[in-house]
Each structure stands twice: as structure tokens, then as C-alpha cells.
Amino acid sequence: MRPAWNLDDNVRVSIEGPRMSRNTVTRRSAIHGNGVFAARKLPAGTEVMEYTGRLRTHAYIDKVYADTVESGHTFLFTLNERYVVDGNFDSNDARWINHSCDPNCKPYIIENEAGDKKLDRIVIETQRDIEKGEELTFDYGIRLDCRHTARLKKIWACRCGSPKCIGTMLKPKR
């Protein structure tokens, strides 16, 4: 089994790609490892960066990343029903953005207008005003195929530090 971030409803269709500038800086985070921080004040609705990486099929991910669920770490981002963006390869600083239970950013899938699933993109946007120096976070929305046992919740323990923290990066199952 392999964990990957999932987006539920935040899908948009766009003819143009987003325009982005150098808004962020990557450094060590109090949440975990590396994190991404605002390099200047970022108003709500700013497209901060695209989540890039190598495009993989779900079949490939299931085969190659089987059992990584035990690691508590992932750079995999579900793009659509056909593809996953693998941030282990050809990625950018977006792969360092940490999870929070009370996030200040939100990822969107920008669907290719012609319906080419390979050309869909993931863009991360601020969902409120963010001060210079604040760490950027989004909700990973990780739902595993198996039951979210206490053991798995511990492996995927959340250290976002928010008063709203639910203690795990695993999304409650609906």
C-alpha cells in the first residue's frame, strides 16, 4: 500500500497556466525536516507554486512504492484518476511544504482544457493572508486503503502544532 495526498473537491479548469513569482524560501521547519516559508507578505489567493515531479501511473506507484505506508513519509501527490505526481524526481520546492490540520494554503488541480490527463497540474494557493516568515502548509488529505489503526495514526503522527491538530496526518474516513 502506498500513501498519497488527495484532493477532494478543489478542481478547476484553466486555459492559461498560473503566473507565479519568487514568493517563498525553503529552510528547516519546527514541524518536520524542511519547510517552505513566505518570503514576503502573501495575500489570500496568491498562487505560490506548482507541485512538480515525475508523472507516474497509479499502477507504477502501487508496484514501486508498495509498503511505504510504514515509513510515515511521502512525496506522492495524486493528480487525477490516471496519474500521480512523484515528487521524489524532477520536483521543486513545493515538495517541502508540510501538512497542517489548520492550513494556510490549499492545492488545486488545474485540469487541462482539452482533457489530456497528463497535462493536468497541481498549483498551491494561499487561502488567507500570510505574513512574511510564516510557514506555508496545506492539508495532505491522506486516506489509506486500509483501516486507519492506532498504529498507523502514530506512524503518520501530525506535529503541525495547531490548536486544531487531530494528532495524525491521516484524514478521518467518511
Ligand X SMILES: C[S@@+](CC[C@H](N)C(=O)[O-])C[C@H]1O[C@@H](n2cnc3c(N)ncnc32)[C@H](O)[C@@H]1O
The residue written with cell numbers 490540520 in the block is: 101
By CB under 6 A, name the one of 12, 27, 41, 73 that touches ligand X: 73
What does the per-residue mask of binding to ligand X show for 20-49, with x meaning CB under 6 A?
---------x-xxxxx--------------
Minimum CB distance to ligand X smaller for 31 or for 144: 31
Shortest Å, Cβ 103 to ligand X: 10
Q: Please, which residue, 27 or 41, has the CB nearer to ligand X? A: 27
Computed from CA positions of residues 101, 68, 172, 6, in that sequence, does the dihedral angle turn out positive or negative? positive
Give the shortest CB-31-to-Zn ion separation in angstroms. 9
Q: Which of 172, 168, 164 is nearest to 154 (CA)?
A: 168
CB 66 within 8 Å of CB 59: no
Q: Which is nearer to ligand X, 73 or 118 (CB)?
A: 73
Q: 73: how many CB neighbours lie within 10 A of its CB?
A: 11
Contact criterion met (CB below 8 Å) for 71 and 4: no
Minimum CB separation of residue 16 from ligand X in Å reads 27
Grid coordinates representing 128 are 488567507
Distance of closest approach, residue 96 Cβ to Zn ion, in angstroms: 17
Reference 11, options 168, 141, 167; nearest CA is 141
Does 172 participate in binding ligand X (rule CB under 6 A)?
A: no
Helix, coil or strand: residue 12: strand
When CB distances to ligand X are compared, the closest residue is: 33
The only residue of 65, 75, 83, 138 in contact with ligand X, by rule CB under 6 A: 75
Q: Which of residues 149-168 bind ligand X (CB under 6 A)?
A: 158-160
Burial of 94: CB neighbours in 10 Å, binned 0-12, 13-18, 19+: buried
Binding site for ligand X (CB under 6 A): 29, 31-35, 72-75, 95-96, 98-100, 158-160, 169
